[in-house]
Structure 1
Amino acid sequence: MQEAAYAKINLALHVRRRRDDGYHELETLFAFVDNGDRLSAVPGAVDRLSAHGEFAVALDDPFGNIVAKALNTLPHGAGWAVTLDKRLPVAAGLGGGSADAGAVFRMVERAHGLPEDWPLRAAKLGADVPACVLSRPCIGTGTGTELAEVADNDLAGCPVLLVNPRLPVPTGPVFAAWDGIDRGAMPQGSLRTIALAGRNDLEPPALGLCPQIGEVLAALRDTAPFLARMSGSGATCFALYDTPGARDAAAQELARSQPGWWQMAGKLR
């Protein structure tokens, strides 16, 4: 079996309050790019994970990797030998590990079906994992695990460019640096309406920890997208364009002016 692990972006991410359990109450609009990591699985004597690709070196604990944990949490018959092509940067705001786990859930669903409590099992692996299992636009509330699909996906097929300065930004310190001010609820409406009227409340604290995010945003905005914003807790930023040609021209310009930055082009699902 083969499955794509679609890159996750947060078109909007509103942090409402700190909870007593140490987590944060969120309202976020998840969207997914038709590009990302790649997983394949063949029968094996036991479960086994091997990784390759540009960012595989960051996966230094194969038993603690979220792909292995996803396999362990789901009944899937005999052993699976899973190969992960790690193309998404780690600690980048793209839900890379969560996307990989989501791909495992979808492979198990095709092969054996998922247990009824799969959302709970997914949430135990990470707050983004339930959304990544679906890998289609949805609104997340609570810690991001309570999901509602968006009826009007008017951004399906929208050209998108992802850019990262190749600097990891751990999620915990960004949330810890949030100023605690509730700036209001996420708007309602279609994907485009929410994205344009929304915001990412983690952008200011992430900028404080990684100023290079500001350079990425400025460079993206110079390419005239209709929206450029940081995803998740950073450091990856995304830009949405009206045409594939505009996206590709932006990608070429950034490759020329910032050859050290990572980028990935695609379309919203």
Structure 2
Amino acid sequence: MRLTETAYAKINLALHVRKRREDGYHELETLFAFVDCGDVLTARRADEDRLTTVGPFATALDNPFDNIVMQALSALPRPDGLDVTLEKNLPVAAGLGGGSADAGALFRMVRNAFGLPGDWRERAARLGADVPACVDSDMHIGLGTGAQRIEVENDMAGMAVLLVNPLVPVPTGPVFKAWDGIDQGPLPDGSARTIAREGRNDLRAPAIEICPQIATVLDALQATDPWMQEMSGSGATCFALYESAEIRDSAAQKLGLDHSDWWQMKGFLR
């Protein structure tokens, strides 16, 4: 038996920070979207759980026992172990939910092979606020710490996406700490296109303070005339959406020539 799952890259089409909670987390309103590419997990049944990490960003995960995939394996009861290989294609600390996406893919893998316990959402949330959303990997509004979901009209499926990162890691904690604490209001009402157009990312300014290269990436993406461009999550990855793959591919080629040291990935919204 061989299992394969893509850990779909998560992007925040809008991210409104409303207030700081008593538990230290922040009250969020976000429009989650997922790109049809990312890390790749493969697995086969084994006597015990094992994890091997390969791929261009494998060296960033130097302790496999501290990896969220191993934590996800420990969180899910199964009759057999899984020998998992994680192909790490997404940069770490990049605002793409990479670790959460890996855990989400692992949950789907276990669901397909063994089934999930009825409280799987609670188990996923204990691993990280974004993990339940990454198990679903569908467009929706996330509330609270991101674990509560509200359905939204997905009128953006199939849009061409370009992800760009200047290869500067930006840890989430310092970005939230640098947020000015001013509540700028809730997400707008409407379909995904409306929310993406009229919403904002409240973490963009504090992330740019920590990593000025984010502003350079956003300016470069804006120059390619996309439908929209924004920073994802707490950075440093930025994304641009295009009405066609041809326009996106042309933009990717130009950015690759002008900024050969930047990481990029092309895909489509799910």
TM-score under structure 2 length normalisation: 0.98
Task: Give, in angstroms, the shift of residue 242 of structure 1.
Answer: 0.8
SS in 2 for 1:63: helix
- Give the whole-Å Cα distance in 1 for the aligned partners of 2:191 and 2:78: 37
Structure 1 equivalent of residue 220 of structure 2: 219
Structure 1 equivalent of residue 110 of structure 2: 108
Unaligned runs of 5+ in 2: none
1:176-217 CA-partner distances (Å, limit 9, x unpaired): 000000001001111111000000000000000000000000
- Give the whole-Å Cα distance in 2 for the aligned partners of 1:76 and 1:217: 44
- Give the whole-Å Cα distance in 2 for the aligned partners of 1:141 and 1:128: 11
Structure 1 equivalent of residue 7 of structure 2: 5
- Asked if 1:200 is matched to 2:201, the reply is yes
Structure 1 residue identity aligned to 2:202: D
- Give the whole-Å Cα distance in 2 for the aligned partners of 1:92 and 1:268: 18
Structure 2 equivalent of residue 159 of structure 1: 160
Structure 2 equivalent of residue 95 of structure 1: 97
Percent identity, aligned pairs only, is 66
- Give the whole-Å Cα distance in 1 for the aligned partners of 2:25 and 2:78: 32
Task: Give, in angstroms, the shift of residue 149 of structure 1.
Answer: 2.2
SS in 2 for 1:169: coil
Aligned length: 268
Unaligned runs of 5+ in 1: none
Task: Give, in angstroms, the shift of residue 36 of structure 1.
Answer: 0.2
- Give the whole-Å Cα distance in 2 for the aligned partners of 1:86 and 1:154: 30
- Give the whole-Å Cα distance in 2 for the aligned partners of 1:225 and 1:103: 30
1:4-37 CA-partner distances (Å, limit 9, x unpaired): 0000000000000111111100000000000000
Structure 1 equivalent of residue 21 of structure 2: 19
Structure 2 equivalent of residue 121 of structure 1: 123
Residue from 68, 83, 86 that aligns with 1:84: 86
- Give the whole-Å Cα distance in 2 for the aligned partners of 1:101 and 1:233: 19
- Give the whole-Å Cα distance in 2 for the aligned partners of 1:58 and 1:30: 25
Structure 2 equivalent of residue 131 of structure 1: 133
SS in 1 for 2:34: strand
Structure 1 equivalent of residue 54 of structure 2: 52
CA-atom RMSD in angstroms: 0.6
SS in 2 for 1:136: coil
Structure 1 equivalent of residue 263 of structure 2: 262
1:69-122 CA-partner distances (Å, limit 9, x unpaired): 000000122111000000000000000000000000001111111111111100
SS in 2 for 1:239: strand
Structure 1 residue identity aligned to 2:88: K
Task: Give, in angstroms, the shift of residue 170 of structure 1.
Answer: 0.1
- Give the whole-Å Cα distance in 2 for the aligned partners of 1:76 and 1:103: 16
